[in-house]
Amino acid sequence: MGHLGIIGGSGFAALPDVEVAHREWVDTPYGAPSAELLTLRHAGQAFYFLPRHGAGHSIPPHAINYRANVQALADRGVTDVVALGAVGGIAADCGPLRLCVPDQLIDYTWGRLSTFYDGADGDVMHVDFTAPLTPGLRERLLAAAAGAGMDVHAGGTYGVTQGPRLETAAEIRRLERDGCDLVGMTAMPEAVLARERGLNYALLAFVVNWAAGKADGEVTMADIEANLARCADAVRRLLLALVAA
Ligand code: HPA
């Protein structure tokens, strides 16, 4: 087992009731990460935690310094990144409160700094991205879920939109035709930057709303926030099961 780093998403600025052994601002050539890097301790294991939206959830998805975040984890020796993400559900079996470990991504984002190989140092690199979410790490997450008696959806395609607005119903129909089961705003370029740095990367997505047009009425922040709170304990439990495994 390597060194685990968790990237927290919406609703996860920290992991409640887990000992914080250390906190530090990590300086990187790409600027500052979203927040202090926390070293957490559970079951005799140390692991890192970095909230991608900042400690006070103030950084929107398109403005996150994904390169600094991934570099900070790589610099501290992290080999395995588990990234949390609140998502909208598109597929019928991915409704609100479902935990999912997707196996594919489609990137609809634009204008984000999405590579370490931007030509600045004369290096051109085309990483393989056939399986964007590391199979071995996904399997460890799923095994931890099974060991904890938790029902988690294995597989599926996460479509990454630009945000910060939510999608139109027609955009969600298009994502569905493309084969997306889930929609979120942050898995890219995070996943590819992890790949470029040679890190294993898996997503633990939790569904906080039906995507636009998949249920009657509008998607409200009140519903999203209520469902975030309802998912929090299961997400925490699964992460701690993974750490202890
Ligand atoms: N769309 C995009 N991102 C999201 C959603 C959604 O419906 N819900 C949570 N993150």
The interface pTM score, or ipTM, of the predicted complex is 0.99
110 annotated binding-site participant: no
Helix (H) or strand (E) holding 173: helix 169-178
- In tens, the pLDDT along 147-162 reads 999 999 999 999 999 9
Give 231's pLDDT tier (boundaries 50, 70, 90): very high
In this prediction, residue 57 carries a pLDDT of 80
Q: How much is the average pLDDT of 74-97?
A: 98
Burial bucket for residue 55 (CB in 10 Å: 0-12, 13-18, 19+): middle
Residue bearing tokens 């099974």: 146
Quote the pLDDT of residue 1: 55
* Range from 1-5, 37-41, 90-94, 179-183 carrying the lowest mean pLDDT: 1-5
Total-model pTM: 0.97
Ligand 1 binding pocket includes 65 (Cβ within 6 Å): no
Q: Whose CA is nearest to atom 9 of ligand 1?
A: 87
Q: Which two tokens stand for residue 243?
A: 């750490």
Across the range 53-81, mean pLDDT stands at 96
Q: What is the pLDDT of residues 200-225, one digit of tens each?
A: 999 999 999 999 999 999 999 999 99
Q: Is 160 in the pocket of ligand 1 (CB under 6 A)?
A: no
- For the ranges 39-43, 57-61, 93-97, 100-104, the lowest mean pLDDT is seen at 57-61
Query: In 3-state terms, the chain is what percent helix, strand and coil (to 5)?
Result: 30, 25, 45
Check residue 182 and give its pLDDT.
98
Q: Ligand 1, closest atom to CA 185?
A: 3
Question: Percentage of the chain surpassing pLDDT 90?
Answer: 91
Average pLDDT over residues 14-33: 95
Rounded mean pLDDT of the chain? 96
Q: Which atom of ligand 1 is nearest to the CA of 211?
A: 7
Euclidean distance between CA atoms 122 and 210, whole angstroms:
44
User: Ligand 1 pocket: which of 53, 165, 167 to mutate (most atoms <8 Å of CB)?
Assistant: 167
231 lines ligand 1 (CB under 6 A): no
- Over residues 99-107, the mean pLDDT reads 98
For position 79, what pLDDT does the model report? 98
Measured N-to-C along each axis, helices 187-196 and 66-75 cross at an angle, to the nearest 10 degrees, of 40
Closest CA to 74 of 42, 122, 132, 33: 33
Lowest mean pLDDT among 71-85, 109-123, 130-144, 171-185: 109-123
User: CA angle, corner 123, sides to 118 and 126, nearest 5?
Assistant: 75
